[in-house]
C-alpha cells in the first residue's frame, strides 16, 4: 500500500510541475530555436521569448540593415524559441531569469531589437551579439 501512495505522489508531483516558465500561458504555436547553445551549464540550451504577437508571418519581416528575418535572427543567432499568442512579452534566459518587454502586438522589429539588446547584455549573449554583428554589420540596433 505504501508503494501505491508513493507512486500516486510522484504522478501528482509531476503533473503539478511548472518549470521555469510556469507563470506564462503556453502557446500552441512555437517557432523553435534553430540551434542549441553547446557548453551551457544551465538547464536550458535555448532561451524562451513569449510574445503577444499571434501571427507567425510577422516574424518574417526583414530586420533593418540585414537580409534576414526577425524570426531567423532570434532563432539562429540568439538561440531563442518564440512562443506566440502569450498574455505578455517576456524573455526567459538560459538560467531562468525573466526580462519583461513592452506589450505591443505588431511592432516585431522593435521587439526583436529589444530582445537582441537584452541578450547582448548577458554573459553568453555578448558573444552571440558579436557573431551577429560580424555577419550583419549594417544591422540597425
Residue 5 lies in a domain: no
What is the number of domains present in the chain?
1
Instruction: Determine, yes or no, domain membership for 3.
Output: no
Choose between 24 and 128: higher pLDDT. 128
114: in domain: yes
In contact, 94 and 56? CB cutoff 8 Å: no
In eight-state DSSP terms, residue 69 is: B
Please indicate, yes or no, if residue 113 is contained in any of the structural domains.
Answer: yes
Domain contains 14: no
**Residue 10 domain-assigned (yes or no):** no
Is a pLDDT exceeding 50 seen at residue 98? yes
Q: What is the pTM of this model?
A: 0.79
For residues 81 and 66, what is the distance between their CA atoms, to the nearest angstrom? 21
- Over residues 42-64, the pLDDT tens digits come to 778 999 999 999 999 999 999 99
Q: What is the pLDDT of residue 26?
A: 54
Asked whether residue 16 is assigned to any structural domain, the reply reads no
Residue 119's Cβ-side half-sphere holds a number of Cα atoms within 13 Å equal to 30
Q: Tell me whether residue 8 is in a domain.
A: no
Residue 19 has pLDDT above 80, yes or no: no
The Cα 78–Cα 76 span in angstroms is: 6
Range of the domain at 93: 23-135
Q: What is the pLDDT of residue 72?
A: 98
Amino acid at each position: 500500500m505504501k508503494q501505491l501512495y508513493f507512486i500516486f505522489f510522484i504522478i501528482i508531483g509531476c503533473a503539478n510541475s511548472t518549470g521555469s516558465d510556469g507563470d506564462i500561458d503556453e502557446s500552441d504555436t512555437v517557432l523553435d530555436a534553430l540551434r542549441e547553445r553547446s557548453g551551457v551549464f544551465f538547464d536550458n540550451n535555448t532561451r524562451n521569448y513569449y510574445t503577444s504577437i499571434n501571427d507567425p508571418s510577422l516574424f518574417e519581416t526583414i530586420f533593418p540593415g540585414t537580409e534576414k528575418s526577425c524570426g531567423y535572427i532570434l532563432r539562429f543567432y540568439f538561440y531563442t524559441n518564440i512562443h506566440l499568442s502569450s498574455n505578455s512579452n517576456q524573455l526567459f534566459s538560459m538560467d531562468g531569469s525573466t526580462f519583461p518587454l513592452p506589450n505591443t502586438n505588431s511592432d516585431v522589429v522593435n521587439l526583436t531589437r529589444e530582445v537582441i539588446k537584452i541578450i547582448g547584455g548577458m554573459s553568453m549573449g555578448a558573444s552571440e551579439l558579436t557573431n551577429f554583428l560580424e555577419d550583419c554589420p549594417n544591422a540597425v540596433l
